[in-house]
Structure 1
Amino acid sequence: MATTAAATATLGAWAGLPGAWPLVVGAVGAAAHGVGVGIRKRLSGPSLAARAAGWLLASGWSSAVIWTDPTSWDGSGWWSAFGSLGAITLAVGAGLVRADVHEEALDETRRAMHAAMTEAAITRADWAVVDQWIALIRAVAQVEVTPAGFDWRKDKSGFGLEIALPIGYASQRFQGYAASLAEAARLPVGCLVSISKARKQGHVILDVDLVDTSTVVTEYPEGFEPLSIMSGIPWGLNRVGEELTVHMRQACALILGPPGTGKTTLLDGILAGFSRCNDVLVFGIDVGKKGDAFVPWVTPWMEGQKYVQPLSGTARLPETTRQGVDWIAANLAEADLMLDALIAIAEHRLDAYRELMRQQNTKLLPVSADIPMIFCVVDEGAEMLAYQGIDPLRSRVKEKLVSVMRTTRAMGIRLILTATDGNLSSLGDSAVRKYSPVRIALTCTDPEGAGVAKLFGSIRGLDASQLTAEGSGVIGAATGVKTGFAPQPFRTWVTAPSLARDACLATQDRRPVLDEPSVRAAGDAYRDRWSPARIAWLIGDQEPAATQAAPAGGRFLLPGGRPMTSPEELRARLQNRGKAPEAPAPGGPVDQDAAMAKFLEDLGKLPEVEEPGSKPPLKPFRGLEGLRVKGGEPGAGTASEPSAPDWKELARRVVCDSGKWLGTSGVLAVLEGRGLTVNRSTLATELSAMARRGEIAKRGSGPQTEYGAPMTEEN
């Protein structure tokens, strides 16, 4: 370079050329040889700069020599010229040496990267994608990483890239660049870069979306193949389109979602998964919508029992059709009974199956088709959990919900709660989140990500604000190393209204029934759960349609094969009232219903005896002012409508005619089953007043108070 510059300056000074012509030659050389050729050789920036600087500095020295006319120089001029030329030569040479060293290092890195790609089975066709993202990571995160694996999704909607981080660089730090990498790559809106830890420490996996998969519509799979709670149940799909299997044997679940996020669709998918299990029963509580969330799952049974008409163009389902949900509580009184039954079942199972657990060397109840798992699904349970008032019934339901979460895990009873908000004021108890390792936050109408933050805190490596499609959200399961998974994007199946019917009919032959020890523990609250009085909210006051003859014996079957007295048989008994029943043959079977009817008839024939301080005559009918009656407005029942019974008289008749001791919850359940809504504290006060007047009997105190028919001297 020094020789070329000196020769150019000598030629220009001898020929009298303009002083700018070496600058033109230097600029052309810097652009063509220094930059153009360097780019073709894929040289780095330092090499390109050193080559261009050599051309420009040499041409500048030559121009300066020509302009100063070397023929007029003295000795110091020559020394200055050659000294500056030597300094330029050394500087450019040093720059080129450093550039060569840098190029060698880059070549070594490329060779190592290609070796790593080869070892990771990355094909040559994918090297361009890997190189692009390695360069992107270097620019955004300012860190040198090495690829360790690469794979395309089956549908080419994205890819996964595993990289090894340098020593001393924490994976949590790198996860914070997820959103920045997505923006730097100019991905479409809705596409995520999800960064999660790999199975080897120091490695992370980038799951990159090239298409917004949350908008892909996937229907619930047909076939309803058998499942088991022990092997996990699919609840939805991940970003890759694979089923996300959730293991719920020991876990409760909490689902957050504002209205319109797809919470009902998600519940349908969960219930469909439970219906496919031969070792799961479902109890449902929906007080806010009066059981509406679970009605589709018992409609096939209602059709079989002739409470509803069959679908147009289809034959009526048989009477043996079973409910898809084993018990529904549509009001607080029924929910109170259900939770009492669950707590009693858990306590009784511990005693009944202690030897079985000892034989199998486990502290967890061995769940099977004979001893099914019970899931209590509470739709909008936050309303009950957040109650802070003085109503004893609401307070008890809240306490029992938390008690079921805390105490029934080992005995195979778990809860699934849905709510619109995850604040402590909404959930009512911090134990709800503590005992719910499976959590879902639906984000369709939650652009701020409030639900995700409340359930999962700050999630590094995931930009939940991009999950805006209906049914999409974030799911996480802290159920153990083998079965759990970190919070990740999630989307529900698209379910049709007919899903409940199809699932009920396809799985009813393999769904279990409650084990006998649990039935005994739950008592009549469970056995009579489908009696007409208890499901009046569901069937109203209607009787089964007369389009189909009653089954042999005049009985309909409740779950478990227990017969229920048909309306035709009840009418026949009323017509035969007063007639002497035929005595059963010695040693023959006894009709328990007939015996009870005979007992009540004889009880009604007993003479009334006036006692000191006996009850006063009943007051004239006062109507139902201020009460809510099903099918009418408040105050619809008045003295001019004798068909509407006085709720106080009805409550007294319920206690006296029951033939057993009833608590306030039992009386309230019957009243609500008949369409009357009465405040529990008001009912308890009136029952106590009746007991003081001698109209009914009372025993116990506080929550253990029970009421029965008044005792007389004759009995």
Structure 2
Amino acid sequence: MATTTEVTMTKNNSKPSTQPEVQGGPVWDWAAGHGPVTGALSATTGMFAVATTGAATAMPPGWALAVGAAGAIGHTAAGIRLRNAGRTIAARAASWLVGAGWTTWAMTHGPLTWTALGSLAAIGVGMGTATRSTNLYEEAREEEAIAAEQRAVAAELSAERRTIAAEWVDRIQRVCGITVRVLAVEQWPTGTGFTLDAELPGGTTYDQIAARAAALSADAHLPHGCTAVAGPGVHQGRTLIDVSTVNALETETPYPTDYAPLSLLTGIPWGYRSNAEQILTYLREQCALVVGPTGSGKTNMVHVILAGFARATDVLTFVIDLNAGSAGLSWVLPALQHQPAPGERPLRPGIDWLAGTVEEAHTMLDAVLRIGHQRKISYQALMAREDTDLLPIGPSIPQIMLVIDEGAEILTSMDKAMKKLAAKILEVIRMLRAMGVRTVLTALGSTGSVLGNLMIRREAKVRVALTGGEKEGMDLSKLFPGTRGLKVDQAPYKGAGFMGTPESAAALFKCWRILPSQIREIVAATSERHPVLDAVSATAAGDAYARRWDADRIAWMHQPQPAAPVSELDEGGEGRRGLNLSALRDEREDGPEPEQGPVSEVDRLADAFMREIDEHFGTAPEPTRRPERERPERPGLNLSALRDNDGDDSPAPQGGAGPEWLADAIAAIADAGSAGMKPSAVADHVGRSRQAVREALKAAAERGELVYRDNGPHSVYVHPDHA
């Protein structure tokens, strides 16, 4: 015998069935439960079937009554366990008992009379009505229970928020002398702090609270590295005060391993705030300036920036690093050293161009300027069609991001060679914003010399100060003008500092830690993602861009390993015992010292760079190589190995250190008097490479045998007698 109980009808907006739709008739869901109507219909038809069968077979009527009583007891127990309402339990038990009573009566008097059928119909209607009523009551009870639970949670949170609000209203009044009204307290999802939305009294600005950020943090007994920073609210009469209670900057967080595609237009993450939220930079029209002293994590952040650009589908990255290209080599070498398997496509470097020398930097900047000027001409129709004065950037026309390590120092350098480079960088910054060329410059400190350039201050709206606890040369008021309450000691951790963007006020942040293994992974993961320079720009760049990866252009990236030390065995294979004196080694008439090894590409470029400086500065002609002169007697070790074959017993340089030609060099410097001699002149005099001469003279100066007079390109070495 069936009954109407706790199941409800399937709603029309339920998930569509996966079974194929049957055309031409209603679709029956045999897995669905009974509702009030179908439940009552099932119960009454079951009662009628049992009564009819029982009457025909002379079934004892008491059996139906026993089954109904058992059903009522079972549903009562189930309702108590499910914590149903009393009316629900009573209605279900009554349905079982009424149904069992009618079945017993019908088996006795016959179910096929109009009286039996009419009473059965009335019982069915009553069951459906009672079921509908109890279902609605149970739904209401459940909704009320959920609402009551939510009200309890809200009341608890409201009590906590009211306590926080009252505490900070009192604290701001005590520390800042300002009476605010806290309108809301929002707990951060990360659980590391909260934000106060406060209304300011008339004639008060949030700057008056921001200036007392350190005092507020101390009064609140916040942990080291946690701050209370006031910023602008929804209007000028309100302020948002971010209070961090957990120092999220203390721990080192690795760079996210989700190397999903990014876009310059939707923002590129550079780090995270003290509330663990990522900071996005929008560099379509803005340049960036990253400041950080040695040991602050600046190089790591440069790699994080390059990682974001490598993941972007609408960015090509050009890197200038005059320090042997170290900032970009990690993004180039994995591709250059990759050996593709048969059928595998070779890896593309993580950056599109790397300049490690002044000459290559000039070549790159000239190409970038040509690209920008040609884009202005060729894409006028496109910009007119898009009704914009900014070149539409995308995978087909990528933006060029020029990352210049220690570029701020280049812009402020007084060296003539650097001034030429700086002029081109400034022209790129000034002229090519609309054409999709922007720069990221780094510097060692936020000093007046770095920020004295108006172009840097005006264009670099995205600014980062990696402090690492270093106070020297970190004037945050110059880097973030108008922002008060920032102190270096708030971010004493490596990779931590302050960051401000046009969309986000300057505040504490932390940069992710990126490892060399992750750089290799990103290069491999983004190799197929890099865009290709558009045809207009590639044509304008010419061979300088097309041949940027030629073997002769990247030969410096494949420098051989340093030469092995000179063996202690002579050419005959016999061991040489005693001091390994350079004077006892065979030397060539011309060329570098054997201990220096062959002249490397770096030495050659350094010599060429020095010659270029000598030519452009117009200094006096270098002294030509002088004839050999008699060496003066000087105190020191009288080593036989240093004597000439003709029996000259002139001593070695003072202290017995340095190559054998050093004594002649020191004598020549002494003869030059107070004017001294430049290292290039000494190199020409002794017939050695400039690199070897510079190292020997530097060592002699450290021993006190010479005095180095630093005067930029006019620097000379002077004998102590004339210093």
Asked if Structure 1 and Structure 2 have the same fold, meaning a TM-score greater than 0.5 normalized by the shorter chain, the answer is yes
CA contact (8 A) 1:229 1:277 kept: yes
- Is residue 514 of structure 1 aligned with residue 533 of structure 2? yes
- Is residue 338 of structure 1 aligned with residue 338 of structure 2? no
- Is residue 467 of structure 1 aligned with residue 486 of structure 2? no
- Separation in 2, partners of 1:215, 1:184: 21
- Is residue 409 of structure 1 aligned with residue 341 of structure 2? no
CA contact (8 A) 1:385 1:398 kept: yes
Aligned to 1:399: 423
- Separation in 1, partners of 2:220, 2:551: 63
Matched to 1:229, the amino acid is L
1:469 match: secondary structure: coil
Equivalent residue in structure 2 for 1:290, among 317, 324, 339: 324
- Closer/same/farther in 2, CA of residues 443 and 317 from structure 1, 3 Å limit: farther
- Closer/same/farther in 2, CA of residues 203 and 427 from structure 1, 3 Å limit: closer
- Closer/same/farther in 2, CA of residues 513 and 257 from structure 1, 3 Å limit: same
1:445 match: secondary structure: coil
- Equivalent pairs counted in the alignment come to 440
- Separation in 2, partners of 1:456, 1:257: 14
- Is residue 499 of structure 1 aligned with residue 510 of structure 2? no
Question: 1:559-608: CA deviations, max 9, x gaps?
Answer: xxxxxxxxxxxxxxxxxxxxxxxxxxxxxxxxxxxxxxxxxxxxxxxxxx
Aligned to 2:504: 485
Higher relative contact order (CA 8 A, sep 6+): 1
2:402 match: secondary structure: strand
- Separation in 1, partners of 2:616, 2:481: 45
Equivalent residue in structure 1 for 2:559, among 540, 543, 546: 540
Aligned to 1:679: 611
Deviation (angstroms), 1:119: 12
- Closer/same/farther in 2, CA of residues 632 and 519 from structure 1, 3 Å limit: farther
Deviation (angstroms), 1:400: 0.4
Aligned to 2:254: 219
Deviation (angstroms), 1:448: 6.2
- Separation in 1, partners of 2:535, 2:398: 11
Question: 1:195-244: CA deviations, max 9, x gaps?
Answer: 11111321112211212221133221112111111111111101110111
Deviation (angstroms), 1:463: 4.1
- Is residue 237 of structure 1 aligned with residue 272 of structure 2? yes
Aligned to 1:166: 201
Deviation (angstroms), 1:527: 1.1
1:278 match: secondary structure: coil
CA contact (8 A) 1:237 1:490 kept: yes
Deviation (angstroms), 1:387: 2.3
2:293 match: secondary structure: coil
CA contact (8 A) 1:175 1:460 kept: yes
2:194 match: secondary structure: strand
TM-score, normalised relative to structure 2: 0.57
CA contact (8 A) 1:253 1:439 kept: yes
Aligned to 1:150: 185
Aligned to 1:260: 295
CA contact (8 A) 1:300 1:501 kept: yes
CA contact (8 A) 2:407 2:442 kept: yes
Question: 1:6-56: CA deviations, max 9, x gaps?
Answer: xxxxxxxxxxxxxxxxxxxxxxxxxxxxxxxxxxxxxxxxxxxxxxxxxxx
CA contact (8 A) 1:152 1:158 kept: yes
CA contact (8 A) 2:193 2:243 kept: yes
Unaligned runs of 5+ in 1: 1-117, 307-314, 479-483, 543-620, 638-643, 648-668, 687-715
- Separation in 2, partners of 1:534, 1:474: 38
1:498 match: secondary structure: helix
Deviation (angstroms), 1:277: 1.0
Matched to 2:327, the amino acid is A
- Separation in 1, partners of 2:235, 2:590: 75
CA contact (8 A) 2:445 2:473 kept: no
1:244 match: secondary structure: strand
Aligned to 2:81: none
2:359 match: secondary structure: helix
Matched to 2:514, the amino acid is T
- Separation in 1, partners of 2:311, 2:439: 18
Deviation (angstroms), 1:525: 0.9
Equivalent residue in structure 2 for 1:361, among 371, 374, 387: 387
Deviation (angstroms), 1:464: 4.3
Deviation (angstroms), 1:684: 8.5
Q: Larger Cα Rg: Structure 1 or Structure 2? A: 2
Task: Give the 5 Å matches for 1:182-197.
Answer: 182-197=217-232
- Closer/same/farther in 2, CA of residues 440 and 451 from structure 1, 3 Å limit: farther
Aligned to 1:276: 311
Aligned to 2:399: 373
Deviation (angstroms), 1:151: 1.5
Deviation (angstroms), 1:470: 1.2
1:124 match: secondary structure: helix
- Separation in 2, partners of 1:259, 1:292: 15
CA contact (8 A) 2:273 2:509 kept: yes
- Separation in 2, partners of 1:685, 1:471: 40
- Separation in 2, partners of 1:316, 1:501: 21
2:169 match: secondary structure: helix
- Separation in 2, partners of 1:497, 1:157: 30
Deviation (angstroms), 1:348: 0.8
Unaligned runs of 5+ in 2: 1-152, 562-587, 619-723
- Is residue 323 of structure 1 aligned with residue 255 of structure 2? no
- Separation in 1, partners of 2:416, 2:484: 43
- Closer/same/farther in 2, CA of residues 462 and 678 from structure 1, 3 Å limit: closer
Aligned to 1:421: 445
Aligned to 1:708: none
- Separation in 2, partners of 1:207, 1:505: 40
Deviation (angstroms), 1:408: 0.8
Aligned to 1:302: 336
CA contact (8 A) 1:192 1:462 kept: no
CA contact (8 A) 1:303 1:317 kept: no
CA contact (8 A) 1:255 1:418 kept: yes
- Is residue 432 of structure 1 aligned with residue 364 of structure 2? no
- Closer/same/farther in 2, CA of residues 454 and 201 from structure 1, 3 Å limit: closer
Question: 1:152-177: CA deviations, max 9, x gaps?
Answer: 12232211111111222232223222
Matched to 1:679, the amino acid is R
- Separation in 2, partners of 1:395, 1:156: 50
Question: 1:56-115: CA deviations, max 9, x gaps?
Answer: xxxxxxxxxxxxxxxxxxxxxxxxxxxxxxxxxxxxxxxxxxxxxxxxxxxxxxxxxxxx
CA contact (8 A) 1:157 1:211 kept: yes
Matched to 1:344, the amino acid is R
Question: 1:510-561: CA deviations, max 9, x gaps?
Answer: 210111111111111111111111111101379xxxxxxxxxxxxxxxxxxx
Pairwise CA RMSD of aligned residues? 3.3
- Closer/same/farther in 2, CA of residues 120 and 492 from structure 1, 3 Å limit: farther
Aligned to 2:171: 136
Matched to 1:379, the amino acid is D
Deviation (angstroms), 1:252: 0.8
- Separation in 2, partners of 1:302, 1:274: 19
- Separation in 1, partners of 2:373, 2:603: 26
Deviation (angstroms), 1:682: 5.8
- Closer/same/farther in 2, CA of residues 169 and 454 from structure 1, 3 Å limit: closer
Aligned to 2:689: none
